[in-house]
Structure 1
Amino acid sequence: MAVDRPRVVSLVPSLTEAVAMTLPGALVGATDWCSHPADLDVTRIGGTKNPALDQVLALAPDLVIANEEENRAPDLDVLRAAGLDVLVTEVRSVPQAFAELARVLGACGVPGRPRWLDEAEAAWDALPEPAERRTAVVPIWRRPWMVLGRDTFAGDVLARLGVDHRCTGHPDRYPRVPLEELRAAAPDLVVLPDEPYRFTADDGPEAFPGLPCALVSGRHLTWYGPSLAEAPGVLAEALRAARR
């Protein structure tokens, strides 16, 4: 069956990877942070929070794909006012990620579900009940320290792997919490992703002396796209490595 290829601009790295893998040639623009696939050759239109809207308009896309968390509503309003079709996703859980990916790919003209999406969903469906549950704090930034709070996709990912983060009941989704409070929470471990802030073995663990720290792939923790298929195994291994 022939597949129509609308001209698509993606403002979300996860969705960029999903569309590029499923419908090569459909993307005409993507953000500077869209790093997968590595050989993606499209016009770069700035960041997720500060896209060059004039460049997006100049590309005359049939569809702009965005996310309610990653992209700013005023920017999307400008694109809509200019007559562009803007599809905004909301992803706060693993099941919601699969539903939204199917919606995006359908809007791009993909007939049916791609194989990688079925494989990713099967990988999460096959995940066994965790043998134990651990508590964690999950910083996503420092200077100031910010952590996962309520109602986040990454929090749901970790919960399915047996890790309950301490700030899941916080009124904010990404609260600023002083380092002293994070230490005082006495979690079983600290989960340090390499994005949006690039925590490394030299930049993160030293702030939490005496606590095991899991350095994890931010792409596997926070992206909803083809990386979802391998995320359970990749993250579980990183979490297993961090024990008292």
Structure 2
Amino acid sequence: MWYNSLFDITDDLGRLLRFERVPQRIVSLVPSLTEYLFWLGLAEQIVGITDYCIVPAEQVATVPKVRGTKNPNREQIIGLAPDLIIANKEENRQRDIAALEAAGLTIYVSDIESVQQAMITLPKLAGIFGRAEQANWLIAAIQAELALKPTTHQRVATAIWRDPWMWVGQATYAADLLACCGASNCLADPAGRYPRLELAEIAALQPDRILLPDEPYPFSQADADELQGLAARIDCCDGQLLTWYGPRIPLALQTYRRLLQTE
């Protein structure tokens, strides 16, 4: 696919993107997809990333940073003259996307709320760069993990922040990944994707297990000790495995399936 020829693709929002050639200059505003682009072998094409794009550490260290996902330096991005910007509906602000598009830049907006959606988006992105074969290998690895049905079923509450306490809602990638591993989200989710519930409200839901990932809030054993008595088990866990989609999905499914099977 490394040729100069017109081709079209739709992003996750169904917007048509037109390319005159395979993109040679990429800016990624999505940390997990930055990791994926490097995994695809596109290091030489990546010309800008966010401050939160921290993996793979040695490779991202030398790439220009364009500030955060919520406050990207638009002028800097425009100056980098990217052929393609990778963004995300949840992680990036619509007004930043609109401003960059108004400057004539092409943006693929991802929208991944489930493992199945990741299995659609990841090959599509790889196909833009002629890396479909590598993406197919990843999808096969994910499918192999999904074929291993969980042997447990637990009602789980997963925190993502405190002061105020915020929790993973139903319509999220993290909730879906946990569901693939044998967990059902005990939150009814009336207040959105990441509702605020006090600890007394969580206790009333009677979860079997509470998960405390180490990002975006750095929960630790001290937080787990504070929550003792709210559930039969309270586990600190890996936040990147839970929320980052890309090459780590097979390991995430393995890890959380094992965790949920632990008594």
TM-score, normalization by structure 1: 0.91
Report the Cα distance in structure 1 between the residues aligned to 2:23 and 2:95, rounded to whole angstroms: 28
**Matching of residue 179 in structure 1 with residue 199 in structure 2:** yes
User: Which secondary structure state, in structure 2, belongs to the residue aligned with residue 84 of structure 1?
Assistant: coil
Alignment partner of 1:42 out of 63, 79, 95: 63
- The one-letter code of the counterpart of 1:33 is Y
After TM superposition, list the pairs within 5 Å mapping 1:1-244 onto structure 2: 2=2, 4=22, 6-22=24-40, 23-40=42-59, 41-107=62-128, 109-114=129-134, 116-128=137-149, 130-209=150-229, 211=231, 212-241=233-262, 243=263
Cα distance change of structure 1 residues 32 and 120 upon mapping to structure 2, 3 Å threshold = farther
Report the Cα distance in structure 2 between the residues aligned to 1:113 and 1:50, rounded to whole angstroms: 35
- Given that residues 145 and 254 in structure 2 are in contact (C-alpha distance below 8 angstroms), is that contact kept between their aligned partners in structure 1? no
Report the Cα distance in structure 2 between the residues aligned to 1:210 and 1:178, rounded to whole angstroms: 12
Q: What is the CA-CA distance between 1:225 and the residue it aligns to? A: 0.5
User: Which secondary structure state, in structure 1, belongs to the residue aligned with residue 132 of structure 2?
Assistant: coil
Q: What is the CA-CA distance between 1:210 and the residue it aligns to? A: 5.3
Cα distance change of structure 1 residues 205 and 80 upon mapping to structure 2, 3 Å threshold = farther
Percent identity of paired positions between Structure 1 and Structure 2: 41
Report the Cα distance in structure 2 between the residues aligned to 1:66 and 1:223, rounded to whole angstroms: 14
- Given that residues 65 and 87 in structure 1 are in contact (C-alpha distance below 8 angstroms), is that contact kept between their aligned partners in structure 2? yes
Q: What is the CA-CA distance between 1:198 and the residue it aligns to? A: 1.1
Report the Cα distance in structure 2 between the residues aligned to 1:110 and 1:24, rounded to whole angstroms: 14
- Given that residues 133 and 164 in structure 1 are in contact (C-alpha distance below 8 angstroms), is that contact kept between their aligned partners in structure 2? yes
Runs of 4+ deviating beyond 6 Å: none
Match of 2:17 in 1: none
- Given that residues 119 and 229 in structure 1 are in contact (C-alpha distance below 8 angstroms), is that contact kept between their aligned partners in structure 2? no
Counting matched residue pairs gives 240
Cα distance change of structure 1 residues 83 and 204 upon mapping to structure 2, 3 Å threshold = farther
Report the Cα distance in structure 1 between the residues aligned to 2:142 and 2:152, rounded to whole angstroms: 23
TM-score, normalization by structure 2: 0.85
How big is each residue's C-alpha offset from its partner over 1:35-59, in whole Å with a ceiling of 9 and x where there is no partner? 1111122111111111121221111
Cα distance change of structure 1 residues 120 and 11 upon mapping to structure 2, 3 Å threshold = farther
Runs (5+) with no aligned partner, structure 1: none
Q: What is the CA-CA distance between 1:5 and the residue it aligns to? A: 5.2
- Given that residues 48 and 80 in structure 2 are in contact (C-alpha distance below 8 angstroms), is that contact kept between their aligned partners in structure 1? yes
- The one-letter code of the counterpart of 1:85 is T
- Given that residues 200 and 215 in structure 1 are in contact (C-alpha distance below 8 angstroms), is that contact kept between their aligned partners in structure 2? yes
